[in-house]
Amino acid sequence: MSETKYNPSELLISISARLMEDNATCFIGTGIPMLAASLAQKMHAPNLISIFEFGGMGAQLEKLPLAVGDMRTFNKGLAAAGICDIMETAQRGFVEYGFLGGAQIDMYGNLNSTIIGDDHDNPKVRLPGSGGANDVGSTCWKTIIIMQHDKRRFIPKVDFITTPGYLSGPNAREKAGLAPNTGPYRVVTSLCTFGFDEETKWMKLLALNPGVTVDDVVENTGFKIIIPDEIGENTPPTQEELRILRDDVDKDRYYI
């Protein structure tokens, strides 16, 4: 198997998995975050504590869950709790990372997964809504956002704030009553990885995906981004990452 033969989903999953640390507590959402958590457990983070909205804590992701309430989210876990226990755990500061997606994102990491359009009651498109996304983005110490990258999604102002990022900028989260030193940490996209500037809380380019240029990122982003002098490069999935993804994590090809 060649290291260069991979598809965009496999790259996105591999980059996301590398951000999951061993022994860390991670709030996992449906879809790519589940595959990333499973890959991380099998590659470098066997003691990753996955936390799911409906009560599963510390599951061994031997088989891919299809939803956050799937019985596989409890497999060999540390505890089988409920949604109220899980949200309280995050509110008390015991969950380090939250992994989320969304339909729209702005320069401060605010996410929209509720509506497209400016009329809440009669939107152009009605999306699935928050689920636990607002709680995750509001209470976890660091939020990692995983998204496809184009101008329809990366826009100057989201149509609806489902999940708070840094809201309107520095100190806005604290003024809204959210805990200090929490908020978006990374945005992993099909083109690159972003962080956020310490002072302005504005989205900042950190690393490019293989074959992607800075111009590609700028062209597909609907707002100005911070471009530092030094930009890293995300490495492609390794042969072992691809083998585990294809033969173990998602052998039925639900996502990859």
* Residues labelled catalytic: 53
Residue type, 57: M
CB 96 within 8 A of CB 25: yes
Helix segments in the chain, DSSP class H: 8-18, 32-43, 83-91, 133-139, 172-175, 214-219, 239-244
Angle at 186 between CA 86 and CA 49, to 5 degrees: 35
CA dist., res. 77 & res. 55, Å (int): 10
List, in sequence order, every residue forming a beta bridge with 9; answer none if it has no partner.
Answer: none
